[in-house]
Amino acid sequence: GDSVTQMEGPVTLSEEACLTINCTYTATGYPSLFWYVQYPGEGLQLLLKATKADDKGSNKGFEATYRKETTSFHLEKGSVQVSDSAVYFCALSDLWRGGSEKLVFGKGTKLTVNP
Amino acid sequence: DSGVTQTPKHLITATGQRVTLRCSPRSGDLSVYWYQQSLDQGLQFLIQYYNGEERAKGNILERFSAQQFPDLHSELNLSSLELGDSALYFCASRGDTDTQYFGPGTRLTVL
Q: Between β-strands A3-6 and B106-110, what pairing exists: parallel, antiparallel or unpaired?
A: unpaired
| pLDDT value of residue A28 | 81
| pLDDT value of residue A90 | 97
Instruction: Out of B48, B102, B105, name the one closest to residue A102 (CB).
Output: B48
By C-alpha distance, the chain A residue nearest B41 is: A107
By C-alpha distance, the chain B residue nearest A32 is: B98
| DSSP annotation of B87 | E
| pLDDT value of residue B43 | 94
- Mean pLDDT over all residues of chain B? 95
Q: Is the pLDDT of residue B63 over 80?
A: yes
| pLDDT value of residue A8 | 83
Interface of B with A (CB under 8 A): 2, 31, 33, 35, 42-43, 45, 48, 55-56, 58, 90, 92, 94, 98-105
Are A46 and B42 in contact (CB < 8 Å)? no
Neighbour tally for A96: CB within 10 Å: 15
Instruction: Out of A44, A96, A103, name the one closest to residue B45 (CB).
Output: A103
Average of per-residue pLDDT across B53-72? 94
Are A36 and B45 in contact (CB < 8 Å)? no
Min Cα–Cα distance to chain A from B99, Å: 8
The percentage of residues in chain B with a pLDDT greater than 90, rounded to a whole number, is 91
Could you give the 3-state DSSP secondary structure of residue B50? strand
| pLDDT value of residue A65 | 98
Contacts of B99 in chain A (CB under 8 A): 34, 46, 49
- End-to-end Cα, chain B, rounded Å: 31
Are B42 and A107 in contact (CB < 8 Å)? yes
| pLDDT value of residue A100 | 65
Contacts of A97 in chain B (CB under 8 A): none
| pLDDT value of residue A22 | 97
- What confidence tens digit (pLDDT) does each residue in B94-104 have? 998 889 999 99
CA A73, CA A56: separation in Å to the nearest integer? 9
Numbers of helices and strands, H then E, in chain A: 0, 12
Are A95 and B98 in contact (CB < 8 Å)? yes
| pLDDT value of residue A96 | 62
- What confidence tens digit (pLDDT) does each residue in B10-50 have? 999 999 999 999 999 999 999 999 999 998 889 999 999 99
CA A18, CA B47: separation in Å to the nearest integer? 38
Are B43 and A51 in contact (CB < 8 Å)? no
Contacts of A95 in chain B (CB under 8 A): 98
| DSSP annotation of A97 | G
Mean pLDDT by 10 residues, chain A (115 residues): 90 97 91 94 93 95 96 97 97 74 93 97
Chain A and chain B share a number of CB contacts under 8 A equal to 51
Q: Is the pLDDT of residue B5 over 70?
A: yes
| pLDDT value of residue A42 | 87
